[in-house]
Amino acid sequence: MDVLVPLPVAIPLLSAAALTAFGFWCGRRLDDLVAIVATAATLAVSLLLVFRSSDHELVYWFGGWRPRNGFALGISFVVDPGTAAIATLVATLGLAALIFSWRYFDEVGTLFPVLMLVFVGAMCGFALAGDLFNLFVWFELMSVVAYALTGYGVQHAGPLEGAVNFAVTNSVGSFCILFGIGFLYARTGALNLDQIGAALAGRRADGLVIVAFTLLVGGFMTKAGAVPFHFWLSDAYAVAPVPVCILLAGVMSDLGLHAIGRIYWTVFSDTLSAGDIRPVVVGFGLVTAIVGGLMCFLQRDLKRMLAFATISNIGAVLVGIGLLTRSGLAGSIVFLNTNGLLRSAAFVAIGILVRRFKSGDELDLRGQGRRAPIAGVVFAAAGLALALLPPFGPFLANALVVDSADTLGYGWVPPLLALAAVLSAGTILRAAARIFGGLGEAKDPLFSHEPEESQAEPADSRRVSQLLLWIPAAALAVVGLGLAFIPELAGHALRDAGRLLDRSAHAREVLHGVAPPATPTPSYSPSATAYAYGAASTLGALAFAGFGLYRRRLPIVLRRAAARVADRPVAGLKALHSGVVGDYVAWLTAGVALLGGLVAVMVR
């Protein structure tokens, strides 16, 4: 039993409790410093766990309540390199957010650092939880904190509305997850993930199991923001303070997808055939990637633009998970970590622009970004990497997914993923060229004109050192780009994914303490096909950025023809994102029904 295992949760939560009790007498500067030190310690411990779990899982049973004869009553944390890497990502983004937010708000007392510490601790607890109910508890804790942080600028209408939409839709998703847990408990009498999997192994999936799977996956898709469960996400991210967006867009949404992959392989892999489930999950992932990319192109508010880029990236990760192969899962692991860092770096760059120029509108900021060159470099570098530019992390992740799809005969998947990357990354590059290069036109009626979201952000202040703004942006970009150069990164991801896919060996290790023999790290080199898709996607993103900047200079005949084809679908797509929470709940309900119907048809 490794005593380090509970520390990524204990350190931030105990620090939050201490600040709550004594922070009022410490002063704001000391409160912020305590939060930064606690998060840095969480980062150090999480990184140690990545290496200490490289050969076998670390299983920590709270109170010493170990399983007897494979039956677990106690609560456990299960650490493998993948889950430890997620905890490391959470702590990294939390540290960057706290540094960026140093004296960010004028009057907050100890509330903001306390909420951020609880947020970090809850996300780490979710990543490490070994039983289904505590997975739900940690996710609910992080969700409640996220609602409060989203609506932090409560004196403005936008943050309040975004927080309400966030809370209502995610609460419905939480009820789905809770009912799914109840159905599984009714069938198996267990809550530990591996014990549930052992109880279901070899059984034919009946209606109760299918409904439980549907509710769990639908609930976690809501948390992740997959289409058609995604409507709340852009409303929330557009109004949340930039330090909060770093964690929301960088890792919180992806945690829902992490849960889907982990639950399928640990619980359902021996009762629901991969061949039956694969087309359903891949289909949802591709629709999410394309819709997110299209909506990203239609935005002029930078925070809302990155929110839809996040949705598009979520679709790509969901495709990797949905392929239900070792290579696809490995690709999703790399996607989750590298894309999260790069999206967060882009959000920090937006925060710099908002603080300096008091606007987050692409058209209003045209040419002004020349006075913030570091933000421009970070924003453009993130866009290029997200366009699948070799050899960076998103390209490597996509290469693993491409190889897996080709092996399965899903050769139509990689072109659609490349198209999604062209749409979302091309839009980011369009904004970078317009804001930092002064290119393109100053007006474009196609882009959605949203209410000014930056009003909830504090104005620039001389009390804030510019280094506290530049350092998080540059550090996140460098780490996000540099992960691809870790020796055998793809090989480590393949090995870790293979350990999760072996359900019976994983259950023996968790429930019986029998560690499997260490497996060597496989070598991996992207195929020529993957390089071709990476090059095509990057060039396509650059061309699409140029189209977004100068599309109104195209011949009038072409523009009229395009308008006849696209105007009505574009108007319909915009209308769906109404901002009305009742509409969002209706789409969530329809999405769960569609998911369950497709799964039932495929399994039967």
Instruction: For residue range 3-57, list pLDDT tens digits in order.
Output: 889 999 999 999 999 988 886 767 677 778 889 999 999 999 999 999 998 888 8
pLDDT at position 157 is 66
Rounded to whole angstroms, how far apart are CA atoms 35 and 473? 19
- What's the alpha-carbon Rg for the chain, to the nearest Å? 23
**Average pLDDT in the 581-591 region?**
90
Rounded to whole angstroms, how far apart are CA atoms 258 and 260? 6
Rounded to whole angstroms, how far apart are CA atoms 35 and 20? 12
Residue 238 falls inside a structural domain: no
Residue predicted with more confidence, 226 or 460: 226
Cis link prior to 451 (omega < 30° from 0)?
A: no
pTM over 0.85: yes
pLDDT at position 153 is 65
State the DSSP code for 320: H
Question: What percent of the chain lies above the pLDDT cut of 70?
Answer: 93
| Neighbour count for residue 428 (Cβ, 10 Å) | 26
pLDDT at position 41 is 95
Name the region of 343 (left: φ>0; alpha: ψ -120 to 50; beta: rest): alpha
Reported as type and span, the H/E element at residue 147 is helix 132-150
Q: Among 55-59, 62-66, 224-228, 356-360, which range has the highest average pLDDT?
A: 224-228
Residue 61 falls inside a structural domain: yes
The dihedrals phi and psi of 337, each to the nearest 5 degrees, come to -75, -50
pLDDT at position 108 is 53
Read off the pLDDT band of 414 (50, 70, 90). very high
464 pLDDT higher than 80: no
**Ranges 199-203, 342-346, 387-391, 414-418: which has the least confidence:** 199-203
Read off the pLDDT band of 463 (50, 70, 90). very low
Residue 566 falls inside a structural domain: no
Which residue, 257, 266, 287, 450, is CA-closest to 361?
450
pLDDT at position 461 is 47
pLDDT at position 85 is 93
pLDDT at position 2 is 76
pLDDT tens sequence across 465-475: 567 778 888 99
* 521: Cβ contacts below 8 Å, ≥ 6 apart: 488, 491, 492, 494, 495
pLDDT tens sequence across 329-374: 999 999 999 999 999 999 999 988 988 888 888 888 998 988 888 8
pLDDT at position 603 is 84
pLDDT at position 348 is 92
pLDDT at position 23 is 67
pLDDT tens sequence across 108-151: 556 888 999 999 999 999 999 988 999 999 999 999 999 888 87
Residue 201 falls inside a structural domain: no
Read off the pLDDT band of 511 (50, 70, 90). confident
Residue 64 falls inside a structural domain: yes
Angstrom CA distances, 304 to 359, 460, 573, stand at: 13, 21, 15
Arithmetic mean of pLDDT over the chain:
88
Residue 267 falls inside a structural domain: no
Residue 251 falls inside a structural domain: no
**Average pLDDT in the 456-463 region?**
51
- Cα angle 252, 24, 153 (rounded to 5 degrees) comes to 45
Question: What percent of the chain lies above the pLDDT cut of 90?
Answer: 52
pLDDT at position 126 is 93
pLDDT at position 544 is 94
Point out the domain boundary residue: 130, 160, 186: 130
Rounded to whole angstroms, how far apart are CA atoms 251 and 255? 6
pLDDT tens sequence across 152-195: 766 666 677 778 888 899 999 999 999 999 999 999 988 999 99
Residue 45 falls inside a structural domain: yes
Number of domains within the chain: 2
291 pLDDT higher than 90: yes
Single-letter amino acid, residue 422 = V
Q: Which domain holds residue 399?
A: 273-443+465-506+526-553
